[in-house]
């Protein structure tokens, strides 16, 4: 019987006396963008996925890998730094967005950071993700913070608006100050195996983004098979995706570890073929710290330490931060606090 393996991460423990801020959480700079390649239909159509093998691989992550004590605290701080703090609700208001932006800049209470010895690290989230209507407000609220604003676009979440409208929406969000655009593919292209249409669509999105980084949402819960997930991932990267993202968070099934295994292996294959590093963003259903740790472990094992920083890894989440704060406070005090002790501001 295999024993659970204690995992020592790329992040140093935040409470060890010999640890410096530079070692525990290095400054992140953006990686070189993926310029894309020509569409290789032979490669795309030849992709196959052994579903049972993928599911067995995914099942090992929560059962055989673990981080404890100060190492867990360090990993959770890393998870915060890779988080796209998100509000994509029908009842979003300017005051909600302003509170979210304030929380993004100070995601953990100061007394908890002080107790962890993590105050000098400048912990903040990877980005704030909002609807287009709130982009100018978020950009102003986050001015000089170094936190980018991400806008969901292209008829999010269904992605079924006419193509010219979706392209204009991207341009409008970029013009309003969004430095990252989360675009939605037409799932029907993947389901029908029309990879040329999907490639052309994503490439047109990339051109509309200009200098804004593009995260391509595949809507994996709608793609029916893991083979479709693999092929759609590869086509999106060939078309110039800076990130591939699992889900909108609105599908019946969102981010799952088997899908993560498939998408990270496509990222690895693309990197080996082209030398271009593409980021990964699981989103939807990631609500507790334990799940976030599983995704970090997946990234470390499948792609390596380079993909454990916010320029190449993001966690799309809205309620996750509250649970991470509770876990960090428990590490400091030995007690779990109520969720209301982790306020938005």
Of 199, 256, 258, 274, give the one whose Cα is nearest residue 231.
199
Distance from C-alpha of 152 to C-alpha of 157, rounded to nearest angstrom: 8
Contacts of 77 (CB under 8 A, 6+ apart): 11, 14, 24, 25, 108, 116, 118, 121, 123, 328
Choosing from 103, 124, 203, 245, the catalytic residue is 245
Summarize pLDDT for 47-81 with one digit per residue, the tens: 999 999 999 999 999 987 778 899 999 999 999 99
Choosing from 182, 222, 242, 311, the catalytic residue is 182
Summarize pLDDT for 118-165 with one digit per residue, the tens: 999 999 999 999 999 999 999 999 999 999 999 999 999 999 999 999
Residue 245 annotated as catalytic: yes
Token couple for 323: 């649970």
Task: Note the pTM of the prediction, 2 decimals.
Answer: 0.90
Token couple for 46: 């030849």
Q: Say what the pLDDT of residue 344 is.
A: 66
Choosing from 103, 203, 281, 300, the catalytic residue is 281
Q: Residue ranges of the domains in the chain? A: 33-63+135-315
Q: Say what the pLDDT of residue 30 is.
A: 58
What are the residue ranges in the chain where pLDDT is below 70?
A: 1-31, 344-345
Q: Say what the pLDDT of residue 345 is.
A: 53
Residue 281 annotated as catalytic: yes
Q: Say what the pLDDT of residue 341 is.
A: 76
Neighbouring-strand partners of residue 127: 84
The CATH code of the domain at 33-63+135-315 is 3.20.20.70
Q: Say what the pLDDT of residue 67 is.
A: 86
């Amino acid at each position: 019987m295999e024993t659970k393996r204690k995992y020592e991460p790329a992040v140093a423990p935040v409470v060890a006396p010999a640890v410096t801020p530079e070692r525990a959480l290095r400054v992140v700079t953006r990686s070189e963008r993926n310029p894309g390649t020509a569409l290789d239909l032979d490669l795309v159509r030849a992709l196959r996925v052994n579903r049972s093998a993928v599911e067995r691989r995914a099942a090992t992550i929560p059962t055989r890998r673990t981080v404890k004590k100060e190492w867990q605290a360090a990993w959770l701080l890393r998870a915060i730094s890779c988080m796209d703090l998100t509000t994509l609700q029908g009842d979003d208001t300017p005051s909600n967005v302003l509170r979210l932006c304030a929380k993004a800049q100070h995601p953990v209470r100061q007394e908890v950071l002080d107790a962890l010895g993590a105050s000098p690290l400048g912990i903040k989230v990877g980005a704030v993700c909002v609807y287009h209507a709130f982009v100018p407000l978020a950009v102003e609220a986050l001015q000089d913070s170094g936190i980018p604003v991400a806008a969901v676009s292209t008829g999010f979440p269904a992605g079924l608006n006419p193509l010219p409208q979706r392209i204009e929406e991207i341009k409008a969000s970029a013009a309003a100050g969004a430095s990252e655009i989360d675009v939605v593919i037409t799932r029907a292209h993947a389901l029908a195996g029309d990879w040329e249409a999907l490639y052309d669509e994503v490439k047109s999105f990339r051109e509309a983004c200009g200098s804004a980084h593009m995260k391509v949402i595949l809507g994996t819960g709608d793609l029916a098979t893991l083979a479709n997930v693999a092929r759609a991932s590869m086509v999106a990267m060939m078309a110039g995706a800076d990130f591939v993202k699992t889900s909108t968070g609105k599908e019946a099934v969102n981010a799952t570890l088997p899908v993560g295994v498939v998408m990270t292996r496509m990222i690895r294959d693309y990197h080996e073929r082209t030398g271009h590093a593409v980021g990964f963003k699981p989103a939807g259903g990631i609500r507790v710290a334990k799940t976030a740790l599983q995704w970090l472990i997946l990234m470390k094992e499948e792609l390596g330490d380079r993909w454990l920083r916010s320029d190449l890894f993001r966690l799309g989440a809205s309620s996750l931060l509250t649970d991470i704060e509770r876990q960090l406070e428990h590490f400091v005090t030995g007690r779990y606090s109520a969720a209301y002790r982790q306020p938005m501001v």
